[in-house]
Amino acid sequence: MSFRLLVDECLSPELVGVAVAAGYVESTCARDRGLLAKKDWELIAFVVSGGFTLVTHNERQSDLMPGIFAAPAPPTLAGFMPRNRFMRG
């Protein structure tokens, strides 16, 4: 079984390519799913109904429910790239 990752809008959509290359072929991002500027509860509803794991830098969302992965940098890239390479803002 492979995780279905949804990259939040606070992180770069480039992470989808990183995830796909790592074998998470059903990964996508908020931008590509029309989820930009959605309320947290709307995003969580999409994540749960679609069987996704939300990848975010927003710690507030990670407090909402289990199954949300909040990290400042992708674990596979930590130490290889500047911490803010995939962060927006």
Write out pLDDT tens, residues 38-51. 887 788 889 889 98
Q: How far apart are CA 24 and CA 65, in angstroms?
A: 22
Number of H helices, E strands in the chain: 3, 4
Average pLDDT on 31-58 reads: 87
Residue 10, domain member (yes or no): yes
Range of the domain at 28: 4-70
Predicted pLDDT of residue 70? 52
Question: Does residue 79 fall inside a structural domain?
Answer: no
Give pTM, 2 decimals.
0.70
Type and span of the H or E element at 45:
helix 40-50
pLDDT band at 88 (very low <50, low <70, confident <90, very high): low
Name the DSSP letter for residue 75.
Answer: T
Please check whether residue 17 lies inside any domain of the structure: yes
Whether 61 maps to a domain, the answer reads yes
**Average pLDDT over the chain, rounded to an integer:** 75
Burial class (CB in 10 A: 0-12, 13-18, 19+), 59: exposed
